[in-house]
């Protein structure tokens, strides 16, 4: 049970994720990625005749099942395999976040930032609504998500995936080191 509840080292988890690429290619020339599922759901559920949603989404139902498996697996892990102790983060990060008035008491996400009342503050709006919009826009603009580009695209030596992955990383560094501290001071 400790194998399931503990974190796995990179040299185990990384190759397991990486093995998804040849497995998907061998099992039906499928491409790994999750962001396209929103398009599949919209094509299946919305009665819109837009050309972007006019395709046979049923051919991609395997990807919807894959995403559903991730959600179900997350629910199972959070209920059956959850560590009931307090969340642990690096002590230096805890001190830095405390300077912004953010603590990690019992939840993996700080309640000062991620809850319904916080959504209606400027800080919460920027982090949850504006941030979610930017992630969705960036995913669509880049032609895929981090898993599609960084795992699938790089393994296939695709130049656009290298550019997108470099931009994802640069954006993450800029956000974490420049933009997030500004937002947390609001």
Q: What is the DSSP string of 31-88?
A: ---STHHHHHHHHHH-----GGG-S-GGGGHHHHHHHHHHHHHHHHHHHHS---S---
What is the pLDDT at residue 170?
Answer: 96
pTM check: above 0.75? yes
Q: How far apart are CA 75 and CA 69, in angstroms?
A: 10
* Contact between residue 152 and residue 31 where contact means Cβ atoms under 8 Å apart: yes
Q: How does DSSP classify residue 101?
A: T
What is the pLDDT at residue 77?
Answer: 84
What is the pLDDT at residue 151?
Answer: 87
Q: What number of other Cβ atoms are within 10 A of residue 117's Cβ?
A: 8
What is the pLDDT at residue 147?
Answer: 83
Q: How far apart are CA 138 and CA 129, in angstroms?
A: 14
What is the pLDDT at residue 17?
Answer: 86
What is the pLDDT at residue 158?
Answer: 93
What is the pLDDT at residue 87?
Answer: 67
Q: Tens-of-pLDDT digits for all 186 residues of the chain? A: 777 777 788 999 889 888 888 888 888 888 878 888 888 888 888 878 888 888 888 888 888 998 999 999 989 888 887 777 666 788 898 888 889 888 876 666 888 888 899 999 999 999 999 999 999 888 888 888 888 898 888 888 999 999 999 999 999 999 999 999 999 998
């Amino acid at each position: 049970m400790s194998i399931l509840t503990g974190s796995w080292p990179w040299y185990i988890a990384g190759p397991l994720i990486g093995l998804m690429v040849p497995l998907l290619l061998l099992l039906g020339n499928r491409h790994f990625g999750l962001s396209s599922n929103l398009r599949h759901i919209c094509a299946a559920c919305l009665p819109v005749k837009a050309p972007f949603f006019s395709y046979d989404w049923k051919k991609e139902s395997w990807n919807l099942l894959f995403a559903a498996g991730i959600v179900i697996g997350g629910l199972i892990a959070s209920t059956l395999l959850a560590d009931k102790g307090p969340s642990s983060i690096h002590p230096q990060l805890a001190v830095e976040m405390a300077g912004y008035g953010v603590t990690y008491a019992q939840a993996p996400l700080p309640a000062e930032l991620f809850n319904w009342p916080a959504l209606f503050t400027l800080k919460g709006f920027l982090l949850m609504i504006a941030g979610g919009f930017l992630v969705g826009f960036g995913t669509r603009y880049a032609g895929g998500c981090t898993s599609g580009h960084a795992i699938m695209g790089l393994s296939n030596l695709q130049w656009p995936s290298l550019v997108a992955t470099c931009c994802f990383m640069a954006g993450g560094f800029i956000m974490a080191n420049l933009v997030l501290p500004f937002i947390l001071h609001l």
